[in-house]
Structure 1
Amino acid sequence: MSAKERPQDEREALAALQARQGKGARYDSPASPAAELLLARRGAAYFARKLNELDDIALDGGSSLNGVGRRLIVARVGYEARAMARIAEAAREGHGEESLGDPEQEPDDEILGTCLPAHALRYLFEHAQAHLNVEWRDLTDAAWDHTVVSLKGRRVTPRQTVRERAVTLWLSAVALGNGGRLSDIPGEIRPASISTNDQQS
């Protein structure tokens, strides 16, 4: 549901909020996928909560996925946000391909990411998620549907990445295995079960 499709009372409330916050505040463009963005942002908050419930020793433990450690899940979630932010940035700038900011930068390696100190691994998620959210908010109406070729060769628009991000965040939070439940996941993206394949898509 785009902003234009929201109920009249919701649009009026949003307009009033924007007026109170002033011209310096950032907002999603009218053509943004509002419902999916809400799912993704709620998922980010849920994942952050489950991650913060783990102390550094528990972070080193295994997840609810057979053979997958919690560190790997956090690294994947963080690096996915980085990649999606690069895709959004490329679309915003009118480029056709995702690119690394520094020509000498190596692509993200999730296995190396698991070796980061606990505080750095947590920061990876927090910073990457915040950056992605900023990139989404900076997208124009047209940029949401601008096709970008990812580093992996996939053709994708920023609009497509939002629901994918929501699914990743919610499933990964439950996969951490520290109290998250499938029933916590919103019905529109809730699977019957979570498998290792869900974490590799």
Structure 2
Amino acid sequence: MPRTFDDARRWARLGTDLFTGAAALDAAGLDAPSTLPGWSRKHLVAHVAANADALGNLVHWAATGERTPMYSSPQERAAGIERGAGMPAAELTAWLRRSTAELAASTAALTDTQWQSPVVTAQGRTVPADELPWMRSREVCVHAIDLGTGITFADLPDDFLAALCDDVVGKRAQEPGPALLLEATDTGASWKLPGEGEQTVLAGPLHEITACLTGRAHALTSPGGGSVPALARWL
């Protein structure tokens, strides 16, 4: 079943709670590595806080018609994350709380008409503003796992996981990669990823399928116990 606007808003709220709860760490905990190569947990918290501010720019655009890009440049985006990673723990988590609260308040104020206003993402895609909750839900749900505090894809709702798999397959199908058929043994859903070489069939629980598709650690094995073709990280 295709995801709905209400679904995305629900997932964004759930993911926000998961992420902010997992990020409520002391200084040593935030300084520890995340599961993303080269990033501490502080880098990841700064990224998610900055993303809330950036999406807030698009909410402002939708509400007022004033063009306000997510970021002024890729360099500014990267510099903001580095600044955040250098903040004291209390200051960083306060930024996270403030930015998420401001995003929630600004989106709650949008009218039905404003939700249909076109805005431009950081990747240059023009989308209606009602895509913003889905964009945010991906950030907070997936990065809650990337913090490495024990949250896994199994902690996320099946309907979100299925929607995320649809989204990832749609993107990966446009890029070079291995040919895969992924079958969720617990829900009966499947995804076909066109690519190079002979198709590999991977079967397992939906949460493991999602982890594999997003380039995260998973427990899937190829038929006969062989290695699973590697996928680059997504998001």
- Any idea what the Cα deviations from partners look like across 1:111-161, whole Å, max 9, x if unmatched? 222111111110111111111111111101011110123566442332111
- Any idea what the Cα deviations from partners look like across 1:70-123, whole Å, max 9, x if unmatched? 11111110111101111011111123x2158xxxxx945212221111111101
1:150/1:182 CA distance change after superposition, 3 Å: closer
- Any idea what the Cα deviations from partners look like across 1:22-61, whole Å, max 9, x if unmatched? xxxxxxxxxx922211110011111111111x22111001
Q: 1:82 aligns with which of 46, 53, 73?
A: 53
More RCO (CA 8 Å, sep 6+): 1
User: What corresponds to 2:211 in structure 1?
Assistant: 192
* TM-score (ref. length: structure 2): 0.63
Aligned ranges 1:1-201 → 2 under 5 Å: 33-52=5-24, 54-95=25-66, 97-98=67-68, 107-108=76-77, 109-150=80-121, 153-190=124-161, 191-193=210-212, 194-195=214-215, 197-198=233-234, 201=235
Gaps of 5+ in 2: 162-209, 216-231
1:153/1:62 CA distance change after superposition, 3 Å: same
Q: How many residues align?
A: 163
1:99/1:63 CA distance change after superposition, 3 Å: closer
Identity across matched positions, percent: 27
Task: Please give the alpha-carbon distance, in whole angstroms, between the structure 2 residues aligned to 1:152 and 1:79.
Answer: 16
- Report which of the two has the higher share of strand: 2
1:163 positional shift: 0.9
Gaps of 5+ in 1: 2-31, 101-105
* TM-score (ref. length: structure 1): 0.72
The runs of at least 4 aligned residues of structure 1 exceeding 6 Å deviation read none
1:47/1:159 CA distance change after superposition, 3 Å: same
